[in-house]
Chains A and B, each alone.
Chain A
Amino acid sequence: MWKNSGICYLLALAVLCLRSLTHSQEIGSLGHPKNLRCVTHNLQKMICAWDVSFKGRHGQTDFCYTTDDFPLPVCFKTKEKRIEIAVPESSTTVTITTNSISGTTLATKGFEIHKKDISFVPLTPRILSLTPDFSTSTLNLKWSDNGSVFPSGLDAFWQIQILRKEAMEKVTQVTYYSKLTHEDTILSWNWTSDMPLECTSHYVKIRCYINVTQFAGPKDWSDWSPVEEVPGKDTEPDGSGVFPQDTVVAVGSDVTICCVHEEGQQIQRMTYGPEIYPLIHLSSRSSAIRVLNASASDASGTNVVCMLSETEMDGTVLFVGYAPDIPQNLSCETSNFLIIKCTWKPGRPSGLYGKRRTKYSLFERISGKNVSCEVNEMNRERVCGFPVLPDQKTYNFTLGVSNPVGQTESSILVDLTQRVRPKTPEKLTVSGNSSTSVHLRWFINGSFAELRLLCQIEINSGHSEQKLHNVSIPGGKYSTYTAHLNMLHPYTKYQFRVRCSTADHFWKWSDWSRVEEHTTWEAPPARGPDIWRERSPSGKTLKVFWKPLALSEANGKIVSHEVSCYMLETPLEYKEVIEPSNSTEIKLGKNDCVITVVAKNHAGLSPPSRITSVELPNDNVKTDRAVAMGNGIYISWNSYPNMTCGYIVKWCHSSGSEPCRVDWQKFPSNTTDAVIKSALFRPGVRYNFSLYGCKSSGYQLLKNIAGYMKELPPKRAPNFTVEETSSDSILVKWEDIPIEDCQGFLEGYRLSFAKGEKDALKPRLSESGSPELKVKNITDLTKKSLKILDLQGKTSYQLDLQAYTAGGLSPPNSLYVVTKEDSVGLIIAILIPVAVVVLLGVIASIFCYRKREWIKETFYPEIPNPENSKALQFQKNICEGNKALKTLEMNPCTPNSVEVVETQSAAPKIEDTEMMSPAADTTVLADGSDSETENHVVVSYCPPIIEEEISNTPMDESVGSSQVVYIDIQSMYQPQIKPEEEREIDLVTTAGYKPQMQLPISALKMESRSPAEEELDKSAGYRPQANTNTWNMDTPDSPGSVESNNENASFGSPCSINSRQFLLPPKDDEDSPKPSNVGWSFTHFFQNKPND
């Protein structure tokens, strides 16, 4: 209020100033009119206004104007300084006369107004309505164009401004174009806000510009219309919430979400999903966040939470998904002419579910019919049904797809008669009373009148390939269809199934019907059986064989075979042989006849098979070998021109004790070889084939053939013996191998020999790789013996004999033979040394005889001088090393004992020295034997340790001069060499040195040590320090920690044979306190030992 009063004072002051100014003008001017200006809003009337310099009270103004068309002046009296007159065609002359209150004329002024001086400013547009759609954040603006006052066809431009917030910040400004139609038209414009309209207030204003091209004067935009407002929720007293509420947007959109709260509340944070977003201040009660490039939300949407306090929150759910994809593979067909089923693939999932899911509708353009489709969202292929319309063949379908984010469509034009996929045939039945034909009936649910159906019948039988039989049938309404099938096999179990399609325009097959089975009736066998005959060795009976007919030839179940024997049309014998027998015997005596065999089933008899019993003689029958093929046996023969009716190869399968089963195979007369195959053939079994030639007069044996399907190595080697042995040769003889053990055609023998004693562990000669191995290959199968020459006398030889076939070598048979001694050589070996000895004796005798005087003088003088006797002088005293020659000195001797005297003043480095190990005492104690005198050897020490310890350890004077005797450590190793001995020795005494023994410190770290190893360690360690707990630990600076004991424990133990260090710690008294003195002295070790 106080502020407003201030403004009032200022205004009053300004008015006073102005009044004083006009008063001065009144004095200076006489009320002249000036600044005449004219503006038109509708091109017909114009408003002219002028100024008058005299601001005081004056009377009426006379306004007169003339135009070119109307030269007489038209006058008005007005009290205002503006007047509305018609817009002149070209120009008008205006005279304005101002009068005083009393009526006297103050001033008169004339003006010339040309048309180009008149301004055109359209009237300010008025907003008729501004309607918000909060769900879509859209504003709808409506206004009138006032077009009735303007000529038709003028271009109108409308500038619309959108403002937001209390501060009316400009959001956007657009220009809308329209054409005037000389009528008042209501124009409408929509604007979608990027911010929900609830978030804050929105304002709209509008102005226009009409482009009147024929108007000569200046044209200008109208004034802005008054602002129209859409208030936000933040203006409502109790308005609050998070906006937009539960909306759907497209993936990749930029979304603004605002939180409107009550006055006094404060937004703590706003989250979109799990993320916190920065707040954008809109008003005191509203803030927003902006989510850019929104990604697809979960099925339940993305939560936007506005936290107002720790316990108070508000929120909304935003669904972000994809617009529907264009349906792919849209296809429509009918299966029954009742419903058209359209299928498609939906493409990319929209990510929107439930009531926001993608919805489909099928629109048929020709009929204008529309159906909505209920589809399963989770199904990959969508299906929609459309009813078949009467008398409509062609359908133009448009599949409309829409979801809240967008919509699309896909179209297809369908001729329904070309898109028929009949329903699956039902009720298939098969009937028939014939051996070769059946009748099929089935039903299809659907109306296929005026169409031809093509039905496919699948025929399956166990012993023939699958067949498909097509039949074309006229279609019917819900009809049963039939088909007749011929050319079937008798007595065969068939499986039938049917599927159908349209014959004229094939589209798709229906699904297969269920399978129906049917067995055709029996028919007489198609042919007679394959037969053979063999005379018995006595020649009185004839055995007739026949092969069972194949299923396709038997045409039923064979119940028996009728065998007859005819001699010149006279039946000699008739037999009916019941199945399953496949041979019979006929007593013929010496006669011959023609044998006929007929197979018989329930439907009748087969044509007869005939064979003559005559066997033509052949003296020159050879036996050949067949070739093994792995899966069969290859046999060949020369062509025999006389054999007019072919060849027969006969063979026999023998299995164990059962009689040989005859089999045969017939070949035409132009055949000269064959591969005989049989499931009964086994590898390594010899089969004997007989080749018969067929003449009109009978059969003739041409040759015999032996063969294997596959040759294997012989099962065993031939038995062999040594017939004769000399000092340099061995004669070996062997036996034949039985044919059943050969498993192939024998190709030879392999005799291997080499020096060798009989030893079960010895490998085979061939595997031994002995350089002295010699091999003899005997390929002459008639040879049954072999003499091995050039052997050494009185030597053991190993002989291996193997047989071999094309399949390989048999296992060997082995023999050990010792050659006889060479007697001549022995005699020579004895005689030569004897002769040499005798010869030497003779020479010595001669020499002695000749020098007898000298010998006597030297060895047997008459007065002997012992000092001159060289025979009693020794080269060296082995005990003392005294180089002086002494004869028979009886001084006591201490062999192998060397004494080492250790003194403090000795050199700091101890070299290899002879000494006795303290362990020797233990050994003596343990076994009770005195080993002291037997173990005097040189001992090796570890110079570095010794050197260090000696230098660091203070010496005890009394001990330093004492003499200590040690035995050699290495001597302790000796018992370790023989493990058998070791086992017998007491554990204490076997505490030998293990050069690579594990030290205790590492043993502690090895968890996987076995108890046996531990026991071994306990018993087998070298222990020169027999009782370490008695070691003198008197080094003043020795740490007493237990941890250091381990290091100490290994200190001074033997390291290896070559090492000069002791490696092993004491192990025999684990329970006793362990040494804890790092500064253990080697000298102490020696010094303390005697005290033990």
Chain B
Amino acid sequence: MAAAGSPSAALRCRDLCSRGIRLAGKMRSDVIDLLDTYVEQQGLDASASVAAVEGVPVAAVERWDELTGTQRLLENLAAYRAFRALLAQMLEEQQEQLGEADAALGRALTAVLLQVSAFIYHLEELLRLESRGPPSEEGTGPPPASHLGLFERKLRGLGVLRELAQWAVRSARDLRQLSRTSPGSSSAPSPADSP
């Protein structure tokens, strides 16, 4: 938290972190609900294992406790930007495939997309507090899905939502870790806080 030297910046950082943690919690809860709806509506097996999908960021990290605050924020930001693009793509595909047949799924997807956008805003604000500013969004769009069959797209959607749920957990821990660290220090947290 390099630029967060002033007390007001520290307060703002803590405020953003606590709100981000709440938002991540809400997002996880909504994504879990959406997963149920999605699996049922798409006729998928809830227990189906989905291999890593191209373009979907993975929440798992090997040395989580060694990450600096800035690294955490940047990884989160990259992931949620990817999720935003992927969710928008899912929403568009859902409109294309189902039309007005299942408005509930569309509404739920839209709600999660909004939450992801809001979370991105939080992350960008936190990065600004670091006097670093968020990186540009160039090249963060999802890989084109036109070559995928409908079944693969369904699986990809499942993978996106599952991974988003994982990310919501990780983000909450990342932000909790950030709020614990004192302003101005980018030191790594203790291993005890590892996810």
Chain A positions near chain B (C-beta within 8 angstroms): 241-242, 245-246, 273, 298-305, 310-317, 353-355, 357, 376-378
Contacts and interface: CB of A to CB of B under 8 A. Distances in A.
B102 interface: yes
B43 A303 contact: yes
Given A355-B96, A355-B97, A316 B149 contact: yes
B100 A378 contact: yes
Given A299-B98, A299-B102, A242 B43 contact: no
24 contacts: A241-B149, A245-B149, A298-B41, A299-B41, A299-B102, A300-B43, A300-B97, A300-B102, A300-B154, A301-B150, A314-B151, A315-B149, A315-B152, A315-B155, A317-B149, A317-B154, A353-B98, A353-B99, A354-B96, A354-B101, A355-B99, A377-B99, A377-B101, A378-B101
Interface of B: 41-45, 48-49, 51, 95-102, 149-152, 154-155
A315 B153 CA distance: 10
Nearest to A299: B101
Top 10 nearest A-B pairs (CB, nearest first) are A315-B151, A353-B101, A299-B101, A317-B150, A354-B97, A354-B99, A246-B150, A353-B99, A354-B98, A378-B100
B99 A357 contact: yes
Contacts of B98: 299-300, 353-354
A317 B98 CA distance: 13
Given A241-B149, A305-B45, 20 more contacts: A242-B151, A298-B41, A298-B43, A299-B101, A300-B42, A300-B102, A300-B154, A301-B150, A303-B44, A312-B51, A314-B151, A315-B152, A315-B155, A317-B150, A353-B100, A355-B96, A355-B97, A355-B99, A377-B99, A377-B100
Contacts of B154: 300, 303, 317
Contacts of A357: 99
A241 B154 CA distance: 15
Nearest to A304: B151
Given A246-B149, A317-B149, A317-B154, A273 B99 contact: no
Contact of B95 (A246, A273, A301, A354): A354
B151 A303 contact: yes
Contacts of B41: 298-300
Contacts of B152: 315
Contact of A313 (B42, B48, B99, B150): B48
A719 B102 CA distance: 85
A1001 B58 CA distance: 70
A314 to B, nearest CB: 8
B41 to A, nearest CB: 6
Given A242-B151, A316-B149, A301 B48 contact: no
Contacts of A242: 149, 151
A353 B152 CA distance: 19
B100 A302 contact: no
A353 B97 contact: yes
Contacts of A246: 149-151
Contacts of A273: 43
Nearest to B103: A378
Nearest to A315: B151
Contacts of A298: 41, 43
A1022 to B, nearest CB: 69
A833 B191 CA distance: 128
Contacts of B95: 354
Nearest to A301: B150
Contact of B151 (A310, A316, A354, A377): A316
A152 to B, nearest CB: 51
A303 B48 CA distance: 13
A777 to B, nearest CB: 82
B165 to A, nearest CB: 20
A305 B44 CA distance: 10
Contacts of B155: 315
Most buried by B among A300, A314, A317: A300
A300 B106 CA distance: 13
A431 B150 CA distance: 66
Contacts of B96: 354-355
A241 B148 CA distance: 11
A457 B42 CA distance: 56
Contacts of A313: 48
A300 B154 CA distance: 10
B105 to A, nearest CB: 9
Contacts of B44: 303
Given A246-B149, A246-B150, A311-B49, A376 B100 contact: yes
A310 B154 CA distance: 18
Contacts of A377: 99-101
Nearest to A376: B100
Nearest to A297: B43
B49 to A, nearest CB: 5
A376 B100 CA distance: 8
A311 B47 CA distance: 11
B161 to A, nearest CB: 15
Contacts of A316: 149-151
Contact of A302 (B43, B97, B102, B149): B43
Contacts of B150: 245-246, 301, 316-317
A376 to B, nearest CB: 7
A231 B98 CA distance: 34
Contacts of B45: 305
Nearest to B45: A305
A14 B48 CA distance: 65
Contacts of B51: 311-312
A258 B102 CA distance: 29
Contact of A310 (B49, B97, B99): B49
